[in-house]
Amino acid sequence: MADTICEHAPAKVNLALHVTGRRADGYHLLDTLVVFAEAGDRIRVRRAARDGLAVTGPFAAQAPAGAENLVARARELARTIAGGRAFPVEIELEKNLPVASGIGGGSSDAAATLRALDRLWGLALPRPALAEAALPLGADLPMCLAAETLVARGIGETLTPAAGLPPLTLVLVNPGVAVATPAVFKALERRDNAPLPEPPALPGFDALAGWLAMQRNDLEAPAVAIAPAIAAALAALRGSGAVVARMSGSGATCFGLFRSRQDAARAASAIAAARPSWYVAATTTIAERAAADAGD
């Protein structure tokens, strides 16, 4: 059995997010089309004499390094499931994504930790059971455990794979502001919006972009009202040639879809030069990276 396991914690990008209701317990009901990107954090877990958590990377200073970090909470959840099979582990979180930025960083980190510990401790847990157990850590956990293109409904726990979407090349932009998710939901004008229609079957890029242009992120307007810098990020993406530009999740990270990796790289370079304090990354969807390379 390996003594060290590494897992990618990819950025989660909500291509569309429709708020369709709210449950009696206060949780909002969502329909969202989600992809996962090569840009992301990284988790390394290894056998150790005692438990530890080290946070490194460009955004380490923004992430808690104690028990409140979702990675530490995921470790404790996995230990509860594992029982006597769980030995002490040192975890390194390489934090490459901005914190509290609408791209599932903390949830993806926790999901990667669960996947890594499942392997390191030899648990071999069925993924649906692990997703159900992880839901108390956050509504994004089931989709981040799956880490594949999908439609999520309910509070995020009802997942349907969205096979057949084309390879996507994106630029992620965060204007350097953290937006509190509860504040964004509180600022929603209505919570009973139209649901997300089924994505087109086997669309090409133009068909998918046209369909996305008719969809929404219902959290974008309230987030922009709280943090106007989000509007500047969207304008920068549109001004750099993005075919579709939208905020992801509850913000503040925005994404732009581009036709090629070259177009995305040029846009990212121009935005980063104009806004050196922003987080800017050109990336691709994870499952289709090889296809995107072949198409360039």
Please give the positions annotated as active site. Answer: 12, 140
**Residue 14 near residue 152, CB atoms below 8 Å:** no
- Whether the ω angle into residue 270 lies within 30 degrees of 0, i.e. cis, is no
Residue-wise DSSP of 123-183: ----HHHHHHHHGGG-TTHHHHHH-SSEEEETTTTEEEE-TTPPP-EEEEEE-S----HHH
d(CA 25, CA 128): 23
Give the span between the Cα atoms of 147 and 127, in whole angstroms. 12
Q: At what angle do helices 261-274 and 229-239 cross, to 10 degrees?
A: 130
Query: What are 182's two structure tokens?
Result: 């509860």
| Structure tokens, 219 | 């959290």
Beta strands in 23-134 (DSSP E): 28-47, 52-56, 89-94
Contacts of 235 (CB under 8 A, 6+ apart): none
Q: In whole angstroms, give the CA distance from residue 233 to residue 255.
A: 9
- Residue at 92: amino acid letter: E
